[in-house]
Structure 1
């Protein structure tokens, strides 16, 4: 049972004295808190001035992105034939630069009847679509993220098939230039629409137009 402290007769309270062992414990706790705060401040300063993390250790194994935080995905490319207006013109200009500056000087075999070409290939929609897809694949596979075998995959899986389709003897450019001395350009007519589509178009044309609603 605790003892009550009776005030002296003059009404003034005597100061309460904390025993020395307790006082030393409080001082030690305060010192520890101050030391911990100083250590945390040093850690924050070190983190703010730390250099960027090094490259992925898996890059040498063809996995350069492994171990790094995921970055925001790039915007998805659109097929060039789905573009129009200024967007189409800008994309076609960029594609033409790649074809004239890189593709033809490196992979443009001699023009013959077995490998025709056209100086106005931009007018051939199918050729534009093929070359644009080939260009997009080239950009993807030359990126370091594709690894050391990226360009080999591009040659094997994309370039070979695209060139074979574009410059085939019976391909889209077969009526164009078959000799460097005889430039030519002609668009080959494609097959007509199917019978079902033609019939639907005819029915739509034969249906009478709905009368305009009277206005009050």
Structure 2
């Protein structure tokens, strides 16, 4: 299992955007970059820099996805029919930790990953602890009995900052189903994501 090597909100400061839409984000207080020169760092960015930034933002949004896993998703998306950027978003949203996060079983994507890796999530009635598992349309994801009483889960379900999207079908507070693979427009990103720039970055 990959481990987060830096503070999660560092990415917010670096990008100058509240990537997860969280009220605790430091960007809510100061939008300039980190460091003593953060306020002066406004130079024109190259095409490569713009593409790299889009890649880091999308990859960072999904938490502990490694570069190897992320590039693998791009390669797989490029082999599928249709738009590569849209396909890539579809593959990332099919990850089990992403679905747990979208279902509001966890307050953050990292908490969702932890819930899965600690064995609190069942897929089609079977315990699964692999956060990167790719779910299929129709799969039923539910919380284990211990997880239903966890303060973290109860807190997540009461969060007003985000809603459960249409492609996640709710069956009460503890069970959801993956209804369909979403398009980019359906995914409730708090900030603008540009998978087309990610595709350009990898296809150089």
TM-score normalised by the shorter chain: which range applies?
A: under 0.3
Structure with the higher fraction of residues in helix conformation: 1
- TM-score for the superposition, normalised by structure 1: 0.22
Per chain length, whose mean CA-contact separation is higher, i.e. which structure has more relative contact order (CA < 8 Å, sep 6+)?
2
